Amino acid sequence: MTGAPQPSLVFWFEFASPYSYLAAFRIEAAAKAASIDHVWQPFLLGPIFAHRGFADSPFNLDTRRGDYMWRDIERLCARDDIGWRRPAVFPRSGLLAARVATAVMSEPWGRAFCRAVFRANFAEDRDITAAATIGEILRELGQQPDVILARAAAPDTKEALRVATADAEALGVFGAPTFQVGSELFWGQDRLVDAVAWAARGKTP
């Protein structure tokens, strides 16, 4: 028996990443329009940034780049009619949300959970590092927060997220969002169209 078929496109995302937020609200329509399947893969940028020598978000370390990013995100959200409020704290660790996402990604409501977390962080300025916030989001999705948070805290879940992050780094991922099509990587929400076009041409190995 061979392994499971590879999806056409893997969406690597990090809850702390503003451009991942944009991608999360754009990818479904883009993939559907091109009739390609895709999976959402949470991972953590922190360990990868640490290996690159960054002790903080590059947007905080370089204020010129950061100032540009905040204006750029605001413009892009307006363009695409996506809600936006600059978070009072940046970055907010995506660790808890990423563990929950790792645990529930295959549930029918997994992507809705991710979008709700992104919205909480980047449109509602809520503290996504707090179990109370994640619990509220889960409850709104009809889930039992205690049950899901226990799954998120299980050793298997933590290990799966560690492995995903190591896999991302091994692939060459250095930022988020990254769209993977076979061995090809496309970095940045503005490359979504290129990634989808690549997947649609069936250029996967």
Q: What are the residues binding a second copy (CB under 8 A)?
A: 52, 62, 64-65, 67-68, 71-72, 75-76, 79, 172, 174, 184-188, 190-191, 194, 198
Residue recorded with tokens 């449109």: 123
Phi–psi pair at 95, nearest 5 degrees: -60, -55
Phi–psi pair at 123, nearest 5 degrees: -120, -20
Cα 116 versus chain centre, distance:
12
CA angle, residues 165, 168, 172, in degrees to nearest 5: 140
Amino acid, res. 26: R
Cα–Cα distance, 141 to 128 (Å, whole number): 16
Nearest approach, Cβ of 135 to a second copy (angstroms)? 36
Nearest approach, Cβ of 125 to a second copy (angstroms)? 24
- For 12, the 3-state DSSP assignment is strand
Beta carbon nearer to a second copy, 115 or 191: 191
Beta carbon nearer to a second copy, 114 or 173: 173
Nearest approach, Cβ of 185 to a second copy (angstroms)? 6
Beta carbon nearer to a second copy, 64 or 88: 64
Cα 13 versus chain centre, distance:
2
Nearest approach, Cβ of 191 to a second copy (angstroms)? 7
Beta carbon nearer to a second copy, 1 or 79: 79
Edge-to-edge strand ranges of the sheet holding 9-13: 38-42, 9-13, 178-181, 184-187
Nearest approach, Cβ of 205 to a second copy (angstroms)? 14
Beta carbon nearer to a second copy, 141 or 204: 204
